[in-house]
Amino acid sequence: MKKYLLPETGQFYKANLHSHSTVSDGTLSPAEMKALYKSRGYAVLACTDHEIMVPHHDLTDEDFVMLTGFELGFDEGWRPNFLHARVCDLCMIALDPENDVQPCFNRTYFSDEKRALIHFDETEPDFIKEYNADCINEAIRIAREKGFFVTYNHPKWSLERYEQYTKYKGMNAMEICNYSSFIDGYDEYNGGVYDDLLRQGKRIFAIGTDDNHNRRDPKGRMWDSFGAFTMIKADSLDYRSITNALVKGNFYASQGPEIHGLWLEDDVLHVECSPADKVVCTVDQRRCMSRYGENGAPATHVTFELKPDDVYFRVTVIDGHGLHADTNAYFTDEVL
Ligand SMILES: [Zn+2]
């Protein structure tokens, strides 16, 4: 019997879950950003401006959903140490479209003008940010409790190392690719960081995002849109169906390749994908597996035999240009 890891039914919707508009330091207005992404086949965009959460439901239509979110940053001290200061950046996306109350808010960080744009709980004390795991974990806990999907962003740009990121608890997902930082030259394809967290027992998903600011030439190589995305499989294109799929992990991350199907038949994992140069199955043990096409043809359907003592497994599809698509990790005690 087939057990589908990506749901058999529903439709894939292309999403960018991390973006910046003129509400913070981006170049495009939320409406311009929506028009741009919609024109390139995207159906979902989370506007995650720095420190400031403003819903853009007016931009949602029958073919496009704007998710409400923001990016919360913890830094070690930008001044005078910008080039060396470590950072932890988290995106927080509201699961409920009615939820417009920004968690972890601090009144003193904003001008009156900006504060007027934000809804926050007047009865709560200011959240004071400090760059340490306790404070960051408290922010994650509060955000999850208040109904947000929390993602861990661009560890390489942030200069975070194993000893920092393995202390964070409760994040829903991490950026396996952050395109803005990737095109700047950072090694922001984070398969290794993802395995560090998984091998530590953290049950966490992987997303691809642009983190676009759109400051550069749209025709140039440094344009930071359309390089990494998340394909969300949902029953329909509406806010709650999309966020339900996020919470369940019904998605994969990509820089280009597509994953059409992912299922188990007993202990055999099947992957159907766009033409691939190589398909890899990573497990927690020293037992990684790779598959290639036969007779020079690309691979489009491969299988991997799993073992019950593989704690988790995940699949990476690599195309002829070296671009990756990554599934979430699945834990054998849940799916085998
Ligand atoms: Zn960002």
Cα 210 from Cα 25, distance rounded (Å): 15
Distance 69 CA to ligand 1 centre (A): 11
Distance 179 CA to ligand 1 centre (A): 10
DSSP 17-48: --B--TTTT-SS-HHHHHHHHHHTT--EEEE-
Predicted pLDDT of residue 110? 87
Distance 269 CA to ligand 1 centre (A): 35
- 296 band by pLDDT with thresholds 50, 70 and 90: confident
Distance 80 CA to ligand 1 centre (A): 21
Domains and CATH numbers, the chain: 10-255 (3.20.20.140), 256-336 (2.60.40.10)
- 46 band by pLDDT with thresholds 50, 70 and 90: very high
Distance 55 CA to ligand 1 centre (A): 17
Cα 96 from Cα 93, distance rounded (Å): 9
- ∠ CA 23-28-32, nearest 5°, is 110
If you search the block for the tokens 């395109």, which residue do you land on?
179
* 292: number of Cβ within 10 Å: 13
For residue range 156-189, list pLDDT tens digits in order: 999 999 999 999 999 999 999 999 999 999 999 9
pLDDT-wise least confident of 102-116, 202-216, 228-242, 302-316: 102-116
Q: Is the pLDDT of residue 78 over 90?
A: no
Distance 26 CA to ligand 1 centre (A): 9
Tokens describing residue 263: 């299922």
SS3 80: coil
Q: Is the pLDDT of residue 200 over 90?
A: yes
Residues 114/145, Cβ–Cβ less than 8 Å: no
Distance 245 CA to ligand 1 centre (A): 22
Residues 88/158, Cβ–Cβ less than 8 Å: yes
Predicted pLDDT of residue 208? 98
Upper half-sphere CA count for residue 63 (Cβ side, 13 Å): 8
Q: Is the pLDDT of residue 318 over 90?
A: yes
Cα 291 from Cα 30, distance rounded (Å): 42
pLDDT-wise least confident of 40-44, 74-78, 209-213, 320-324: 74-78
Residue 72 burial (C-beta neighbours within 10 Å; 0-12, 13-18, 19+)? buried
